Amino acid sequence: MKSLSLITLLLACQGVPPARPAKELDPKDGRSVLEYAAYNTRTQKSYETRFKARLTTTGTPLDYDGRCVWVAPGVLYVHYTASGGDEKMVVRADNDVWVYNPLVGWVTADEAGMPGAGRGIQNPDEILAVLAQQSATAKLVQPGAVELNFTGDHIESIMKEQANKGAFNWKESKANLGLTVDAQNRLQKFTCDAALKPAGPNAPPTVQYTAEVQLVAYDGAHEIKFLDEKKREIPLLPEMKSKIGSVLKEKR
């Protein structure tokens, strides 16, 4: 679904290494809370999240329910199921991404026709990188909770070349983002409520996209063991293992 690949890239950006905030944490300042939440979370050895998302255009909404395991500094495992039972398994190591096809096994994201796999809401590290870049817009709504309101210009700058030129009317698009932190000022929960206005005289109604990412555990799981329909473990390809090992070894 073309519009889906665009929406899942809503919060995607090229990986930016985490940088420690210049000032000490001020729990009464939304920008400070957000910057430290992004830094503290992204510098963990690993963390696991659960995410839910809903895409609504016309007709029945499309729902997603998934799990992510992020291993610093650049390995991501994703397993999610969409409405109708469409199941996806994704492994990303730096900029190399593979998707499991039950008929042929692991293929690259491009071969699977899923260039957005392992990006956007599927990738909590990218979410945090984007939020940190936009921290000046963060407002503290209550202790440990910040809110950001993105205008169309913000969304357009984030998506850059990832959205087809002219696909959306950015001036009529907006997104409301929320983030809560735990006692160590790490990510606890992230929410997104976006309304994107497609461009063109015959464009469909506004696309609604909502998502929630919940932190499950820190420094727990370091991978996802993928299983087939018979509950047998799906092994990774040698080249996948090699790339994963290389990323973890080179960047640590």
Q: What is the pTM of this model?
A: 0.85
Rounded distance between C-alpha atoms, residue 243 and residue 99, angstroms:
15
Strands (E), 8-136: 46-56, 62-71, 75-82, 86-93, 96-101, 105-108
**Structure confidence at residue 251 (pLDDT):** 53
CA neighbor of 53 nearest in space, from 36, 40, 67, 72:
67
**Structure confidence at residue 243 (pLDDT):** 96
Q: Are 88 and 99 in contact (CB under 8 A)?
A: yes
Q: Which residues of the chain have pLDDT under 50?
A: 1-14, 160-164
Both tokens assigned to 7: 């929406």
**Structure confidence at residue 8 (pLDDT):** 45
Three-class DSSP category at 180 = strand
Both tokens assigned to 148: 């950001």
Sign of the alpha-carbon dihedral angle for 119, 74, 127, 160: negative
**Structure confidence at residue 153 (pLDDT):** 67
Across 152-171, b (16+ Cβ under 10 Å) vs e yields bebbeebbeebbeeebbebe
Which tens digits make up the pLDDT trace of 125-167?
988 888 888 898 899 999 999 999 887 766 665 554 334 456 7
**Structure confidence at residue 158 (pLDDT):** 55
**Structure confidence at residue 3 (pLDDT):** 41
Rounded distance between C-alpha atoms, residue 81 and residue 52, angstroms:
10
CA neighbor of 240 nearest in space, from 99, 60, 125, 127:
99
Query: Cis omega (within 30 of 0) on the bond before 73?
Result: yes
**Domains of the chain with CATH codes:** 28-247 (2.50.20)
Which tens digits make up the pLDDT trace of 87-102?
999 999 998 999 999 9
User: DSSP letter at 17?
Assistant: -
CA neighbor of 132 nearest in space, from 61, 213, 66, 43:
43
